[in-house]
Structures are given as C-alpha cells and as structure tokens.
Structure 1
Amino acid sequence: MKNLLFPRQFQMAGWLLFVPAIILGILIYFGVISFAGVIETILNDAVIIGITVGSIFIVCSKEKHEDEMISSIRLASLLNALYIYSAILIASVLLINGIAFIYFMTVNLVLLPLIYVVIFRLEIHRYNKMSEYEEQD
C-alpha cells in the first residue's frame, strides 16, 4: 500500500500554524480580543483554516521512525477521535439550545481535528515510552 504521508518537516510547519491559531481562536471566542467587520471575518477564517491545516500537517507527516505500529496508531486515533466527536455532537444536539448551540457549533468546526491531534500525540507518547522501557530490559 502506498504511503501518502507528508515529509517530516511538515510537522513543524503544522505546529507553527496550529498553536497560534488555537491561541487566537480562544482569545476571540472568549471575547478577550474583538474586531469588527471584514477583519473579524478574515481572522475567524484564518483561525479555522490554521487549526485544520496545522492539525493535518501534524498528524499526517511522517514520524522520526515510521513503521507499521505508527500506522496502526494513526488509524486507532482517528477512530477514537470520530467516536468521541460523534458522542459530543449527539450530546450537544440533545442538551444545548438557542444561541449557545450556535456558539458550540462554531467550536465544533475544529473539534474533530483537535481531538485527533490530542489522541494521536498521547498514543505516540505512550508508544515511545513503552519502546524505551522494552529497550532497557
């Protein structure tokens, strides 16, 4: 099967897009900073695109030691992120109403890639720790 991952250098570019976009998104969402008109639209779009493209670069670029286990972790992380995302979406549809639902759906635009990055990085960290432990024995 052909490997369609980005080169490893894309991971750093992804972090450089992802982290500032998350910070700016949180600041805008909670009203710490606010803009009006066209600038607000441009910044909102930049945040959503930055989080999405950054998360794709982070997760879809090769690891230092790419092997079958990493591929398995990618797939398991994607499935777990999809399950969590779906559960959150269903719960929000049932429990949130009115304008709060609109606010939550704004966050929901980037929730799946966000969950995926968190789960994937945690699993990679766990795998690396396990590998280090096995090498010591």
Structure 2
Amino acid sequence: MKNYLFPHIFQPIGWIMFVLSLITGIAIYSSIPVFGAGIAETLAIDSAIIGIALGALFIVCSKERVEDEMTKSIRLASLLNSIYAYVALLVGCTILINGVKFLVFAVFNLVLFPIIFVCNFRLEMHRYNKMCEDEEQD
C-alpha cells in the first residue's frame, strides 16, 4: 500500500503553525484589539483558520519518527473517533444553541475537527508509547 504521508520534518512546522494560529484565533475571539478593523482583521481571521487547518494537517499527516503498522492503525482509529466526537458535538450544539451564538459556534466549527483529530491522535500515540515503555521495563 502506498504511503501518502508528509516527511517527518513537516511535523514541527505544523506545530508552530498550529499553536501560533490557535493563539491568534483565541485573541480574535476574545476581542483583543490587536489586529485593528477592516481588512487587517479579515486577514487575521483568515490566517488563523488556514493556519490551524494546515498546521493540524501537517501534524497528523506527517510521518512519525517510527512509522509502523501500529501507528497507521492508531491514525485510522483516531480519525474514526474524531468523526464520532465531531458529529456528536455538532448535533448537540445545533439542538442546544440558537441565534447569534450559533453563528459563533459555526465559525468555531470550521476548525473544530482538526483540533479534535490532533488531540485524539496525540493522546493515543502517547498511550501507545507509554505502553511500549512499560513493556520494555518489565
């Protein structure tokens, strides 16, 4: 089976993009007047959304230092679990949130799936690596 993952060097680049864009997005959402108004604010919002999405893509779709069948399995399981969590949250928020607050959620929803996927994949990889370390110590 052909491997379409990015080289490992993309992972730190993705983390830098992801974290900086997430901080920018939080600053914009918190209404911190750092970016001004008009075109500057629009560019900041667009760059935050694109940066989060591309950063998450680089983090999750780049090879691990040790890329084996278990890593591929964890990647696939994390994708499936992220879809379940994303859809459950989307349905729940659609039912519970109305009006202008739903528009805010809809904007946040643009970057929600990549964030869930990165968190889920990193957590599962951490659990797997910890389990491997525990087995080696025994």
When the two structures are superposed, what TM-score results if normalisation uses the length of structure 2?
0.97
Question: What is the number of residues matched between the two proteins?
Answer: 137
Deviation of 1:30 (Å): 1.3
After superposition, the C-alpha distances for 1:15-62 in whole angstroms (9 at most, x for unaligned) are 110000001101110112352111111111000000000000000000
**Where in structure 2 are the equivalents of 1:3-82 lying within 5 Å?**
3-33=3-33, 34-82=35-83
Query: SS of 1:110's equivalent?
Result: helix
Aligned letter for 2:96? L
Aligned letter for 2:28? I
After superposition, the C-alpha distances for 1:58-109 in whole angstroms (9 at most, x for unaligned) are 0000001110000000000001110000001001111100000000111000
The share of aligned pairs that are identical, in percent, is 58
What 5-or-longer segments of structure 2 have no aligned partner?
A: none
What 5-or-longer segments of structure 1 have no aligned partner?
A: none
When the two structures are superposed, what TM-score results if normalisation uses the length of structure 1?
0.98
Structure 2 CA distance, aligned partners of 1:7 and 1:56?
12
Runs of 4+ in 1 over 6 A off after TM superposition: none
Deviation of 1:136 (Å): 1.1
Structure 1 CA distance, aligned partners of 2:87 and 2:46?
24
Aligned letter for 1:15? W
Aligned letter for 1:62? K
- Taking only aligned residues, the RMSD between alpha carbons, in angstroms, comes to 0.7
